[in-house]
Structure 1
Amino acid sequence: MTLKAGNILEGTVVNITGFGAFVEIEGKTGLVHISEVSDSYVKDIRSFLKEKDKVKVKIISVDDNGKISLSMKQAMPLKKSVRPIEIDWGKEKEKQASPKDFEDRMMKFMKESEERLQDIKKNQDARNRGYRKNSSF
């Protein structure tokens, strides 16, 4: 099989660096960048790969100089897609608050806010009583 973009092949890891792994495929060596190792974040590539591991890779590109870019994550089979949540908009409209309900919630909020403000003022007044400066100087 020729080395061209899109092909999925099996290769052997020959060297691991901090930025990726070199994989030998069909007698040539290509690079799997650390960002192409897994779908999840890869902090240390050595936790995913060891030298002489057999891995499946997809050829991303082969440039004019013969550099081969590879991807392990693109060679993995696609995960089953998760269906989006279906929303019945008719029921959503029924759930919306009526103007009266909104006013009740607003009144409750205002009352709780006023109570909290009064508590804060009481606490500040209690603290300030012990620290009043004498103005007779």
Structure 2
Amino acid sequence: MTLMAGNILEGTVVNITNFGAFVEVEGKTGLVHISEVADSFVKDIRQHLKEQDKVKVKVISVDDNGKISLSIKQANVQKKSVKPAEIDWSSEKKKASSNSFEDIMSKFLKDSEEKLADVKKHQEFKSKGRKNLG
């Protein structure tokens, strides 16, 4: 397989720096930037990789000078198959029809009044605190 953008290959970590890891793929060395190592934030790359590790990488780009950009996290994303959630629409319709418009509006009005009362209470508390300071 050739080094073309989008290809997923196996490589060997040959060097680790603070900003990423150099991985040898098909006799050439490319860089996996620290932001492309894992899905989560990576503070210390050495907690995720060590030299001579075998890793799957996705070729992000190969520029005219032969500089190869690689990604470990994008290579691993391909493995996961995302299945859409199953929704039982019949139960959703039952929930919606069980509440009348008037019931929904009265609940909304009650919730709104409670929130407004909390805001007013908070504002009064803040203004009393300022008067005591002055």
Q: TM-score, normalised by structure 1?
A: 0.66
How far apart, in 2, do the equivalents of 1:59 and 1:104 lie? 54
Taking structure 1 as reference, are residues 68 and 104 closer, same or farther at Cα in structure 2, changes over 3 Å only?
Answer: closer
Query: Are residue 99 (structure 1) and residue 65 (structure 2) matched?
Result: no
Query: Once superposed, what is the RMSD of the aligned Cα atoms?
Result: 3.4
How far apart, in 2, do the equivalents of 1:110 and 1:58 lie? 54
| Aligned residue type for 2:97 | E
Once the 2 structures are TM-superposed, how far is the Cα of residue 27 of structure 1 from its aligned partner?
Answer: 2.1
Residue 32 of structure 1 aligns with which residue?
Answer: 32
Query: Are residue 64 (structure 1) and residue 67 (structure 2) matched?
Result: no
Structure 2 stretches lacking a partner, 5+ long: none
Which stretch of the first structure deviates more once superposed, 11-20 or 73-82? 73-82
Residue 81 of structure 1 aligns with which residue?
Answer: 82
Structure 1 stretches lacking a partner, 5+ long: 125-130, 132-137
Larger Rg: 1
How far apart, in 2, do the equivalents of 1:64 and 1:101 lie? 62
Once the 2 structures are TM-superposed, how far is the Cα of residue 32 of structure 1 from its aligned partner?
Answer: 0.5
* Cα distance per residue 1:57-111 (max 9 Å; x no partner): 1211111011001111222243121423526252242143542564477469759
How far apart, in 1, do the equivalents of 2:17 and 2:8 lie? 23
| Aligned residue type for 2:94 | K
How far apart, in 2, do the equivalents of 1:54 and 1:34 lie? 17
Residue 45 of structure 1 aligns with which residue?
Answer: 45
| Aligned residue type for 2:9 | L
- When you count helix as a share of all residues, which structure comes out higher? 2
How far apart, in 2, do the equivalents of 1:25 and 1:13 lie? 9
Taking structure 1 as reference, are residues 32 and 108 closer, same or farther at Cα in structure 2, changes over 3 Å only?
Answer: closer
Query: Are residue 7 (structure 1) and residue 7 (structure 2) matched?
Result: yes
